[in-house]
Every structure is written in structure tokens, then in C-alpha cells.
Amino acid sequence: MTNNLNKIEITSTQNDLVKFCIKLQNPHTRKSEKLIFIDGEKTLSGLIEENKEFEYIFLKKEDFNPAIKAKNIVFCNDAVLKKISTLKTPTNMAGIIKEPEINNEIFYNMAKIALIDNIKDPGNLGTIIRSACAFSINGIILYGDCVDIYNSKTIRATAQNMFKIPIIKADFEFIKKLKQTHKLIATTPYCTKDFFDYDFSGKTLLAFGSEAQGLSREIMELSDEKLKIFMDNDVESVNLGVFASIAFAYWKHKIKKN
């Protein structure tokens, strides 16, 4: 546990720290503060096991765990936990951590990068992050108008895997620079080349578009190759999280085989 630990007790839902937790659930406030509000016992327990340091952790006195690494322990009651919770069933634990500082330059040395274009669904993004961790993707780039990386639903959908892989938001200029070291492969239903026939040798940036709109025109035009996963029984498409998971699993298998 952090030395000189500050212990606070809150019983009022009108406390300024409670109000701050609620404000952090707004993506604009979260980004400006560079802090992340996290709730849910399973998610928090995973972070505690990984020895993540919290700026604040909120819990009842009887749930205190000496293994928690935090600058501030906030003891609170059910009313306060219910007030700050983003869950339908109120959490019994919540926390605030600093947003990870990630240098974009590290992506130039990565062999396997997933590029996610204009994803809006936090659950889908969480599934993609979880699968990317499971199948050894080195990093994820979000491009365009995407849901906030640290949306509470996204964090929960990663099933404790949120902070195991570098994830950044990048503009078109950065994507173009990455093209100097990586091949950009677009996944799209509007082509005839089979994804499962592709070699996947060398550094690769594999792009996925949103379910509603697909890949943006600029990413399609910038791509070196366009690939499709052919489906049976007249199924036109599958959930984006499922699609990306299939692609990641094959990508890992193909490289291991080669």
C-alpha cells in the first residue's frame, strides 16, 4: 500500500468528491482531467491484483483490502456508492485512476496493429480490446468519431483487460506516417479477396470499420489491400466484435504457422 495513505469518510451524496465522480462520467470532463472513473467489483479487483495505483478508491470500511494501492481511500455508505455508480445494480466499489500516458512513437515498432474506424458501440470496443489481448495484437488505434476509450461500458466489456495493451486515438496524418513502415489492410465486404488466404507477413495495420458505415473513404483509399471474410448460409455480416475476434485469431495462427 502507498505510504502516507490519506483516508477520507463520506456519508453525504452532496459531497464535492461525489459530484466530481459524476462529472468524470462525462467524456469531455474525463479527457480534460485525464482521469478515469471505474466501477464494478470484478473490474476493480482485477486492477488491484495488477497492482494498479488509484488516485481514489471508494468502498465501505468492511470491504477494505490491504492490498489496495491508492493515494486516497474513501470510506462511504451504500447511498454514496449508489450515487456514483454507472451500473443498474449499484457497485460496492469504485475508483479513479490516471489516464495512461502512451507515446505514439511505440507503434512504429509494432508488428500487429488493429485500426478501428468510427466505432460507436462501447460494448463492441470492449470485446475488440479483450480479443486483441487474447490473440497477441500489439496495439490498437482508434480513428475518426469513436466512442471514448475509457467509457465505463467499454472498460467492463474488456473483462479486466483494458490496460494490458496500448490504445491511442490518432489522426489521418499519423496513419499515413505508419504506412511508411506498415502495410494497411482493409477489411470490407466489397471485395473478392479471401482474408484467410492472405500471408500477413511483415508489419501490418489491420483496419475494421463500424457496422453501420464500414471503413471511411480515406482509409479505404489509403489501404494496400482489401480483404473479405466469406460467410455461409446467406449471412451478410456478424457483430463487429465477433468479426474482429475471428480475424485476430486467424492472424495469430497464420504468423505462428509461418
CA dist., res. 32 & res. 50, Å (int): 26
Backbone phi and psi for residue 210, each to the nearest 5 degrees, phi listed first: -70, 160
Are residues 169 and 243 located together in one domain of the fold? yes
Using the predicted structure, report yes or no on whether residue 3 has a pLDDT greater than 70: no
Q: What is the pLDDT of residue 91?
A: 81
Choosing from 98, 129, 155, the residue where a domain stops is 98
Q: Are 106 and 181 within 8 A, CB to CB?
A: no
Q: What is the pLDDT of residue 2?
A: 42
Using the predicted structure, report yes or no on whether residue 1 has a pLDDT greater than 50: no
Choosing from 69, 98, 127, the residue where a domain stops is 98
Are residues 134 and 172 located together in one domain of the fold? yes
Q: What is the pLDDT of residue 171?
A: 97
Choosing from 76, 98, 120, the residue where a domain stops is 98
Please give the residue range of the domain that contains residue 247. Answer: 104-257
* 57: β partners: 73, 95
Are residues 76 and 94 located together in one domain of the fold? yes
Are residues 176 and 246 located together in one domain of the fold? yes
Q: Enumerate residues 6+ apart whose C-beta is below 8 A from 252.
A: 135, 136
CA dist., res. 171 & res. 141, Å (int): 9
Q: What is the pLDDT of residue 129?
A: 97
> Cα–Cα distances in Å, from 167 out to 72, 164, 239?
27, 9, 21
The CATH number that applies at residue 168 is 3.40.1280.10
Using the predicted structure, report yes or no on whether residue 255 has a pLDDT greater than 80: no
CA dist., res. 21 & res. 56, Å (int): 10
Please give the average per-residue pLDDT across 209-219, as a whole number: 92
Please give the average per-residue pLDDT across 227-233, as a whole number: 92
At 253, the pLDDT band (50, 70, 90 cuts) reads confident
Give per-residue pLDDT as tens, 115-142.
Answer: 999 999 999 999 999 999 999 999 999 9
Are residues 121 and 248 located together in one domain of the fold? yes
Is 1 domain-assigned? no
Give per-residue pLDDT as tens, 84-121.
Answer: 999 888 788 999 999 999 999 999 999 999 999 999 99
Give per-residue pLDDT as tens, 58-85.
Answer: 999 999 988 899 999 999 999 999 999 9
Are residues 155 and 235 located together in one domain of the fold? yes
Using the predicted structure, report yes or no on whether residue 148 has a pLDDT greater than 60: yes
Are residues 130 and 165 located together in one domain of the fold? yes
Q: What is the pLDDT of residue 4?
A: 52
CA dist., res. 211 & res. 4, Å (int): 49
Are residues 78 and 122 located together in one domain of the fold? no
Is 140 domain-assigned? yes
Are residues 132 and 151 located together in one domain of the fold? yes
Is 141 domain-assigned? yes
Q: How many domains does the chain have?
A: 2
Is 192 domain-assigned? yes
Please give the average per-residue pLDDT across 242-250, as a whole number: 96
Q: Are 188 and 213 within 8 A, CB to CB?
A: no
Assign 47 to helix, strand or coil.
helix
Residues composing the chain: 258
Are residues 79 and 121 located together in one domain of the fold? no
Mean pLDDT of the chain: 93
Please give the average per-residue pLDDT across 43-53, as a whole number: 91
Is 32 domain-assigned? yes
Please give the average per-residue pLDDT across 146-165, as a whole number: 93
The CATH number that applies at residue 24 is 3.30.1330.30
Are residues 89 and 153 located together in one domain of the fold? no
Is 77 domain-assigned? yes
Is 184 domain-assigned? yes
Is 37 domain-assigned? yes
Are residues 111 and 90 located together in one domain of the fold? no
Using the predicted structure, report yes or no on whether residue 249 has a pLDDT greater than 70: yes
Please give the average per-residue pLDDT across 186-204, as a whole number: 94
